[in-house]
Chains A and B, each alone.
Chain A
Amino acid sequence: MTKLDRNDRLVRLGLLMIALSAISVLAIITIFIFEQGTPIMFKYGFRSFLLGRDWYPSEKSFGLLPMIVGSLLVTFGALMIGVPLGLASAIFLTEFSHRRLSRILKPVIELLAGIPSVVYGFIGLMFLVPFIRERFGGPGLSVLAASIILGIMILPTVISISIDAIRAVPDSYREGSIALGATKWQTVRLVVLPAARSGIIAGIILGMGRAIGETMAVIMVAGNAADIPGSILAPVRTLTSNIALEMAYASGEHREALFATGVILFIIIMILNTMANVTSTRQRKK
């Protein structure tokens, strides 16, 4: 770094202010959500929020357990669908397909990442929900429908980050393994995937964050009943849907309870972010 003259120091101070105010946005958001959401949690006790099974805001019963379970269930379901499909596509496009094919398909997949989530929800509502209702019974609006739609939504994220992680594995690893007589698939399974592991995991965690934070698409296909679902064909309500469904008319303690829902969602997301950050730093150091 060259020496700065007085003007440059002023500029640097100004830019530092800008950078700090950009980051203070995170602090402000955290403060506002917690300030609105935590008092009611203290008033009724964390236990009754986290473990209460009854969500009847009009009777001052604010149990969030069905929504916490709901969010975890659909996120888990989304990963069960999105991760195998996404990972297989990434391996196929990097290791087994023609260069030309992957050069066409990767941008296509990245373009599809931009399709708004409401559109995914709408397609789910028009095609998937009736299909589940007719084939498997139940209302169709279900854990299964939400999991499938979220699984499809996280596909582009999982695919493009896994492709980057697999491409970052040096070719000499593959050449060494092939030279030892391993088949292409053995090379992928025993050499390439272990080497790309932390990048792939970071991609999966990002997809998970997207799934757990998604709102509008889930509302359209999940049925939104505030009960712990008895089967994957039963309707479900997630933390995000809980906020979005009732925010428009909530007031007083009801509104505070929705902010408390936001607090819990926020904490879950922050844990995921930190995990993704730690794994991707570990990858970079390697």
Chain B
Amino acid sequence: MGQQLRFNPKREQQIAQSLMYFMTAVAILVLVFILVVILKNGLPQLSLEFLTRNPADMGREGGILSTIVATIFLTFIALLVATPLGVGTAIYLTEYTVEGRITRIIRFGAECLAGIPSIIFGLFGFILFVNKLKFGWSILSGGLTLAFMVLPTIIRTSEEAIKAVPAAYRLVSFSLGSTRWQTVTRVVLPSAIPGIVTGVILSIGRSIGETAAVIFTAGSALRMPTSLFSSSRTMSVHFYILAKEGVSMPKAYGTAAVLVISILVINIITYYLMEKYIKRKS
């Protein structure tokens, strides 16, 4: 201790505090700078036409309608698959079993899945859905790959939402003679719904912003998707190609603005719901 207190403690406190103040300012300014640059350059590009017309000339002209539609389709499929799987897993973990080896394995598996980089999901989706199952580069392959990617998020948020339902609710329901299933479906789930929805919305945000897992599974065709098996380009892939290959910077900024605004709106809704329904109760 003696050696560590060599400096005048008051002086040390002042230095440390101003240093931290400075570093916090740097961190936050950098993050805000990114947001401001995208919105400042992107917002002037936005117009009704940009949102309602298909890209033309490889994205140099026209709008981004087909990429918006592709993003929505892909996200929809991902959630359609991941939500039942994730919520079912969460119900099993919280209501139908006691802590033990199986729950530990399931939780550890979900955590590992959450840590796998998206490019690995991309490789996997490419080999399984595109090649082995012969779905080709398609909305279906991309959607299923994304479903696997967002699954851990849905499991975790649903689990927290279900745990936040007070134990008294369940006890009252049992004491009235209901079975466990009745308790889960009529008492627990209705009060956990807002929390579960939060997890789903969070996953929508992740799906919209994903590039690496999608580019090798959904492909990058610029056509308007017509079926589950059409290859199509999502907003984030479109933005990546416009920016990386220098196709058109104004269009890239416009696409980025749409991407960032939709994700921010989704995250703000999520944040609001989380504050309201998950954190307060627990």
Contact = CB atoms under 8 A, between A and B. Distances in A.
Interface in B198-249: 205-206, 208-212, 215-216, 236, 239-240, 243-244
Given A15-B88, A32-B128, A117-B209, A183 B10 contact: yes
Nearest to A86: B27
Contacts of A161: none
30 contacts: A16-B102, A22-B109, A26-B113, A32-B128, A33-B124, A36-B127, A84-B23, A85-B26, A85-B27, A89-B24, A89-B27, A92-B23, A93-B24, A112-B31, A116-B210, A118-B240, A119-B259, A126-B37, A183-B12, A186-B5, A186-B9, A190-B1, A214-B117, A215-B212, A240-B119, A240-B212, A247-B122, A247-B123, A265-B119, A269-B117
A15 B89 CA distance: 6
Given A22-B85, A269-B117, 12 more contacts: A11-B96, A15-B96, A16-B92, A26-B113, A29-B113, A32-B124, A32-B128, A111-B264, A115-B209, A119-B38, A183-B9, A213-B115
A215 B121 CA distance: 12
A146 interface: no
Interface string A167-187: 000000000000000111110
Contacts of A14: 88
A51 to B, nearest CB: 23
B244 A220 contact: yes
A273 to B, nearest CB: 4
A277 B37 contact: no
A105 B151 CA distance: 29
Interface of A: 1-2, 4-5, 7-8, 11-12, 14-16, 18-23, 25-26, 28-29, 32-33, 36, 84-86, 88-89, 91-93, 96-97, 105, 107-112, 114-123, 125-127, 152, 155-156, 159, 182-186, 188-190, 206, 209, 212-216, 219-220, 240, 243-244, 247-248, 258-259, 262, 265-266, 269-270, 272-273, 276-277
Give 5 closest A-B pairs by Cβ, nearest first. Answer: A213-B117, A116-B209, A18-B88, A88-B23, A15-B92
A277 B114 CA distance: 12
B256 A119 contact: yes
A164 B207 CA distance: 26
Given A12-B96, A36-B127, A247-B123, A122 B243 contact: yes
Nearest to A24: B109
What is the size category of the interface that chain B forms with chain A? 35 or more
Contact of B35 (A1, A23, A112, A277): A112
Contacts of A93: 24
Q: Which of B4, B212, B263 has the most CB of A within 10 A?
A: B212
B108 interface: yes
Given A15-B96, A85-B23, A116-B209, A32 B117 contact: no
B9 A22 contact: no
Nearest to A280: B111
B112 to A, nearest CB: 5
B118 interface: yes
A156 B4 CA distance: 31
Contact of A122 (B19, B27, B256): B256
A207 to B, nearest CB: 12
B51 interface: no
Contacts of A272: 115
B169 interface: no
Contacts of A118: 209, 211, 236, 239-240, 243
A206 B114 CA distance: 10
A109 B31 contact: yes
A183 B92 CA distance: 49
Contacts of A11: 96, 180-181
A228 to B, nearest CB: 21
B102 to A, nearest CB: 8
Nearest to B266: A114
B189 to A, nearest CB: 13
B252 interface: yes
A270 to B, nearest CB: 7
Q: Which of B10, B34, B37, B126 has the most CB of A within 10 A?
A: B34
B16 interface: yes
